[in-house]
Amino acid sequence: HMNNGEKEVINVTAILRSTEGLFDNSVSIYSEDYDPDTNDNTDNSGNGGTVVLDHVDMQVSSFDLVTMPPYHSEQFLTVQVGITNNGPDSARNVVIANTTQSSNIQVVNVTGTPCVQWPCSIASFASGTTVNLSLTVQIITGGDFSFGIKTTSDSTDDDLTNNSNSTENINAQNTGNLA
């Protein structure tokens, strides 16, 4: 309850997830008590602002299938990957994942700070830094497969052409029961 003439300041913090541009906010107040002048209960002008999104250039800066052929089913491959934020800002909510649609391979392990699981999520990725990962990929069955890596973020990426890299149409032979 507020007394006549009393003021209350309420600070509100908002996270705007939108495109760049102008925004405005609005606030209204109501009371269970009689208000003889409801014309001043809403403010929705004169408080405009501008949304400026983070701009980044996320890049798959290195991609190396370390394990050399020939490949066969049930084999484990090592893939070394580097992901770089070329800036100029820190990237928010970065996800590093495989682009693979092949059903005969799967990522079974990832090492490299800060990734501890796959796909890898990084809340804040500083400008000018690189994350180096080592992936263990298992070939489940023989046949052709492709394996790729992509990176995305909630920040505005000014160059999407360098966000992925892959190997295409690799063949793995089926292995029989060697026992």
The b/e string for 21-51 (b: 16+ C-beta within 10 A; e otherwise) is eeeeeeeeeeeeeeeeeeeeeeeeeeeeeee
Confidence of residue 15 (pLDDT cuts 50, 70, 90): low
pTM: 0.70
pLDDT in tens, 124-165: 999 999 999 999 999 999 888 889 999 999 999 999 999 999
Tell me the CA distances in angstroms from 142 to 42, 59, 126, one per residue in order.
Answer: 67, 31, 40
